[in-house]
Structure 1
Amino acid sequence: MGDPGQRAPLGHGRARAAGGHVTIREATEADVPVMEEFVAAYEAESWARPYPMPRDDSYLREGRILVAERDGEVIGMAKGELRKGLGHVSFVYLRPTARRQGIGKALLRELTAFFREEDVEHVTLNADTNNLDALAVWHRLGFADYRRSLLTGLAALEQRLGGESGETFGSVHLQTDDQSAVAGGVARFVPRLFVSSASVVSAPRNGWIAVYDPVASREPHSLRGLASELSNVTGGVVVALSAERADVVRLVAFDRGRMADEYLSVPEYYGPLPPGDAIALRANPTLLARLTGAEPGAIRAVARTAGSPTELPPAPELLELVADALGIEGAGLDFEGASRLEGAVTVEHG
């Protein structure tokens, strides 16, 4: 930062903009209050990270800090610094009334002159991915993406790193009272879809029969395939329910063999999706109510989506809530627990 007594413009620091000439000069101690206003304004306008913008007393007193001044009023600022032999643009801000007038470029020209004096060959900066206008400006100036910073909550990271987390389990539920027909379908299709020694078919409960298989339970694609085939052969409504990696809940509903609806409690848990695909993974309470006879409001209340598992009840608990809303019992049982249910039959697969 410059000396308060040295307020002369820099070598190339005059720019003509709407409203009069603009002077680019080095910031002084007297400029700190208005620069603090700029930092606060930037945070209010553009800071989208889930933590406060870092502040310390040295931020506005270190590096090359320039201000743009018009008619005695400071209307913008830019900060640059050297980082391991690279020039780094740390901060640029203009008052809303001073934008789109070439003032930002004038500030950057002075920063590039500073970098040139320091024998810098490359310039870096950080830009938030949600600030599309700023990204467009930087790209037009020749900046290109060369790395990506990732962010997660500490609690979410700890949960996913937990030693006992990660278990996947699930079951298939058919809206029928015909246990023998379900057992026949299981005997027919399980050997075609995957290798399993045995499956359990429960007795009817609340108009539903459940199928538990130790292989399909831990393999979501196998569970889904079995549900589809059983829906096709019975011509009825079948729901596959699972808790995956002890983090997320998935529901896939089939009607006469065709997928009717799918729900994933954290739609982008496995990676970013196009907006339409993410929306498609939200449960459709009206459709599910029509298929199952459940109350739409009850489904809507529990089949919620979020950006992180930590924003929802634990997956096993959420699984039970979703199942209860559909009138399904035993969604949290494993193969051994299901085999002890009254009236359950075991289908052996030789």
Structure 2
Amino acid sequence: MPNMDIESIGVRPARDADAEALVALWEASGLTRPWNDAREDIAFALGGPASGVLVAEKDGRIVASVMVGHDGHRGAVYYVAADPALRGQGLGRLIMDAAEAWLRARGVWKLNLMVRRGNEGAMGFYAELGYQEDEVVVMSKRLRETPTAVG
């Protein structure tokens, strides 16, 4: 596949109308889980004052995304995705740069992210961007019933 001109890709905040394209991208990227309603996650992020979804668009088509937010102290990203057919051309770096800029603009000075165990490809990608593994354990508690939640 020929390399795409990454400079021609625009990044913008997602809109409600982008939900179906985002879900399709996330499903194609293997990011969705049965216990997380992706559409609900999008609506929640777009409706919050400290969160959003950014999309990279090429010729009117969403080719990458990131959900980004903060708690007033630390930032976090979720649903980092690049169109599988276009991987390796800089879209992941582009969307992560956009997420970092979004957080910096809000005064957030540290970004935390979670990678599922065994996802060595994602861990290598983030390491190339300067992320490192911290000596922490992430603990969670489900505050509502979810179908077959496994993490």
TM-score relative to the length of structure 2: 0.74
Partner residue in 1 for 2:19: 32
Q: Does 1:148 align with 2:133?
A: no
Q: Answer whether contact 2:23 2:39 (CA < 8 A) is retained.
A: no
Compared with structure 1, are the counterparts of its residues 144 and 19 closer, same or farther at alpha carbon in structure 2 (3 Å cutoff)? closer
Task: State the SS of the aligned residue for 2:97.
Answer: helix
Q: Matched residues in 2 for 1:86 and 1:113: separation? A: 14
Q: Answer whether contact 1:129 1:135 (CA < 8 A) is retained.
A: no
Task: State the SS of the aligned residue for 2:9.
Answer: strand
Partner residue in 1 for 2:125: 137
Q: Matched residues in 1 for 2:59 and 2:39: separation? A: 28
Q: Map 1:168-179 onto structure 2 (within 5 A).
A: none
Partner residue in 2 for 1:111: 99
Q: Answer whether contact 1:64 1:111 (CA < 8 A) is retained.
A: no
Q: Matched residues in 1 for 2:31 and 2:22: separation? A: 16
Q: Matched residues in 2 for 1:52 and 1:98: separation? A: 26
- How far off its partner does 1:83 sit? 2.5
Q: Matched residues in 1 for 2:5 and 2:74: separation? A: 35
Partner residue in 1 for 2:109: 121
Which ranges of 4 or more aligned residues in structure 1 deviate by more than 6 Å? none
Compared with structure 1, are the counterparts of its residues 41 and 142 closer, same or farther at alpha carbon in structure 2 (3 Å cutoff)? same
Q: Matched residues in 1 for 2:139 and 2:68: separation? A: 24
TM-score relative to the length of structure 1: 0.34
Q: Matched residues in 1 for 2:139 and 2:75: separation? A: 23
Q: Which has the higher contact order (CA 8 A, sep 6+)?
A: 2
Q: Matched residues in 2 for 1:78 and 1:56: separation? A: 13
Query: What is the CA deviation profile of residues 114-139 of structure 1, one whole-angstrom value per residue up to 9, with x for unaligned ones?
Result: 11111111100010111111001112
Q: Matched residues in 2 for 1:68 and 1:122: separation? A: 23
Q: Answer whether contact 2:72 2:108 (CA < 8 A) is retained.
A: no
RMSD (Å), alpha carbons: 2.4
Compared with structure 1, are the counterparts of its residues 102 and 56 closer, same or farther at alpha carbon in structure 2 (3 Å cutoff)? closer
Q: Does 1:18 align with 2:4?
A: yes
Number of aligned positions between the proteins: 130
**Greater C-alpha Rg:** 1
Amino acid at match of 1:28: R
